[in-house]
Amino acid sequence: MKKLATSLLVTLFFSFCVYAGQPLNVVVIGAHPDDADIRAGGTAIKYAKAGHNVLFVSLTNGDAGHHEKGGGALARIRRAEAQEAGKRFGVKYVVLDNHDGELMPTLENRFEVIRLIRKWNADIVMGPRPNDYHPDHRNTAIIVQDAAYMVIVPNVASDVPPLKKNPVFLYVEDRFQKPYPFQPDISVDISEEFNQKIYGIAAHESQMFEWLPWTNGKLDQVPDSEDARLELLKEWRKPSISEKVEQSLIKWYGKEKASKITAAEAFEICEYGRRPSDEELAKLFPFFD
């Protein structure tokens, strides 16, 4: 046990030395404006506060996600909401101009994602798994997976230089069980960041306080004041830590600290990218005591 503790301390010290003065570059890719925020917003805040670079990408412009508005007018609203959210999270936010509900895993979209990942010189790329209720989410996963290896291939999307090293590609957490449930390889404590995450998500007003409540039959529950809306959003987005995520938190934080964690975000390693060791993960997620 003593040797294990010593080894962990050496690993964490080495992580600090390697990344001191060398920011990490993280890309979080979602299908819609607000997807990246919901699945990895707390972790993004931790990276941004520590001086690392985070890019949120929405592969569609969100122009179908509303019960009253739509088309170009809605796309402009959602792009403006994403920019405000980016400020609140401390990240850069890019919204591509693909139609909501019509995203397909085309070569054009794959090349666009390859170029974005290369230009950001990504160390980590996060995105959804390919099993999901929404076709845009599934196709986002396919696009990101298909880009995973190609980002290092010089003759693909050759107008942007290839990366020298393949990033670590990670899936964000979901609830789907088939063909297999989400496996939390790494989990991050976002207890201190949770309120800021809620504030960031709340920038997507057309979604959090109009469209999503309408789809759930709760539009009449949305209050008018900002403070009351934030409190309601906290309740609707109340953190739930599964047993598997709890075990992952224990692995990375130790049992005592893990027992005090009230909010977490978890990630699964995608085998299409680089397969990092626990030591490398500790460098890429420099948040553990």
Rounded mean pLDDT of 10-37?
74
Pairwise CA distance, residues 134 & 37, whole Å:
17
pLDDT tens for each residue of 100-139: 999 999 999 999 999 999 999 999 999 999 999 999 999 9
Once rounded to an integer, what is the mean pLDDT over residues 13-42? 82
**pLDDT given for residue 20 in this prediction:** 53
Return the pLDDT at 21. 59
For 65: left if phi > 0, alpha if psi spans -120 to 50, otherwise beta; the answer is: beta
What does the pLDDT read at residue 16? 46
User: What CATH code is assigned to 23-284?
Assistant: 3.40.50.10320
Query: What proportion of the chain, given as a percentage, has pLDDT over 70?
Result: 93
C-alpha 247/C-alpha 226 separation (Å) is 36
How much of the chain exceeds pLDDT 90, in percent? 91
Global pTM reads: 0.91
Q: Is the Cβ–Cβ distance between 241 and 119 less than 8 Å?
A: no
- pLDDT tens digit sequence for 29-78: 999 999 999 999 999 999 999 999 999 999 999 999 999 999 999 999 99
pLDDT in tens, 187-226: 999 999 999 999 999 999 999 999 999 999 999 999 999 9
